[in-house]
Amino acid sequence: MQDHILVLCRNRSLAGLISRTLRYRQIYSLPLPFETPAEEVLARAPRGVIVASDAFGADALDGFDFSLLTSQTPILALGGAVGVLCRHFGGAAGPASCARGSVTLGLAEDPLFQDVASGEHVLHGFCELTLPEGLSSLATANERPIGFKHAALPLYALQYPIERNDPDSAQLLFNFAASVCGCSASWDEDSIIDMAVDRVRTAAPEGTVLCAVSGGVDSAVCAKLASLAVGDRLKCVFVDTGLFRCNEPEGVITVFAESLNLTVSYVDARTAFLTALSGVSSPEEKERVASQVMTQVLVSQLTHDHSIRTIVMGTNFNDTLFGISPGASLDGQAHAPSVRLCEPVNDLFKDEVRRLAAALALPASIATRQPFPASGLALRIYGQVTEDKLMLLRAADACFLEEIRAGGHDKRLWQFYATLVNNPDRPGGYAVCLRALQASQGGALAARLPFDVLERATQRIRTEVRGITRVVYDLTPSAHYGELE
């Protein structure tokens, strides 16, 4: 069994950050619901457990199973969990505070802090601890305890911020996993590929394996893994929803044939999607309807090909962590009990899937493809979706994309696209909102594109796309980069 660390944290973004940080250092880590009973946690045989809370109140550990503390499994408590645990063992914790400016951080001589810098640090929130007998100081801020180690239990507690792109917090997590828990750093691309291929072979011992591909990295990686696992028993299909960008359906099928040596069958479902989306305005409802219609289309494939025994889906761990489960409705189809659902990358984060794409030698057009919503351009049209609106947005988006690429700016951008809205100044006319984002710590910021690029894109859209009467640029930052990646 793969050595692993489990993470218990209510904040899914923080849980994902901790797990991704460890996995980047080749330590397998998996977030679990915060209220997971100790019996279930221990049944997974983890090498260690990280318990984190970004809240500093007395309820920071509400729902936590305290019996886990006496299991002799190494535990690292972070953030607001530390004060609650200090009180649990008979100590005291002051009110949460945020130091003005930096504090002098003192770290004990312990394997947990190997290659972690002490000295001046900025702590965004911590409480001073009064340690009872049995707890020894592990870290101090301005010579006051902010962390402890238990004398008899393998329990470490530390109020230290885990932040994106912070080498010290990454080293701290690695030290806990490797030095304290004894985890081996074996979570690499080769082991992931072997595990995923075995998963497909186990799920599909016989019959045809159906894999729906969209051009995205998740489905492409799954198709490649399924090809390695079952060979010519794989059947790939591309479902044209009518919600793709300009020339995208043809491009996807061509890339799969020429670069992956996989034949992809074309399924025209444009009418079904447009009909189902008629009258739908809210983004959430568009996503729900698109997912429902996709399920219906895939299930219909079972009636056309009775040899299909397994359906491969490209669900990744970001989807399940943030409550999205594309395969859930498909898995519940009662009229297809003999068909199994396989999700080869459902325990991989998006960045891991991209690294896997590179290891599998997938072309850059797939490996680095921008995030694209399941409901496609429907989500980038404000209000109801019509064929006319799709045509306008598709053309405007193509103009913007061409100008970005012509200037060589696409390589530094995380995402760029156009959205379509009604023009409030001209009834019956439409406005296009251009958006380009660069990744930053904790989110994504609007890119400072050269003005001449925006000017050329604006001129082309107003000239080439009849019906567009206004073009604007969106400067709003996004908080979703970490969730998607």
Per-residue pLDDT of the chain (485 residues; tens, 9 = 90+): 689 999 999 998 899 999 999 999 999 999 999 999 999 999 999 999 999 998 888 888 999 999 999 999 999 999 999 999 999 999 999 887 766 667 888 999 999 999 998 888 877 778 889 999 999 999 998 889 999 999 999 999 999 888 888 899 999 999 999 999 999 999 999 999 999 999 999 999 999 999 999 989 999 999 999 999 999 999 999 999 999 999 999 999 999 999 999 999 999 999 999 999 999 999 999 999 999 999 899 989 988 888 999 999 988 887 766 555 555 555 555 445 578 999 999 989 988 999 999 999 999 888 888 888 889 999 999 999 999 999 999 999 999 999 999 999 988 898 999 999 988 887 778 999 999 999 876 578 999 999 999 999 999 999 999 999 999 999 998 865 444 34
Residues 329 and 292 sit within 8 Å (Cβ to Cβ): yes
pLDDT at res. 376: 94
Residues 134 and 128: their CA atoms lie apart, in Å, by 17
pLDDT at res. 465: 95
Q: Virtual CA dihedral for 254, 259, 261, 263, nearest 10 degrees?
A: -20
Residues 47 and 326: their CA atoms lie apart, in Å, by 31
pLDDT at res. 336: 52
pLDDT at res. 485: 40
Residues 160 and 170 sit within 8 Å (Cβ to Cβ): no
Q: How many CB atoms lie within 10 A of CB 428?
A: 8
pLDDT at res. 330: 55
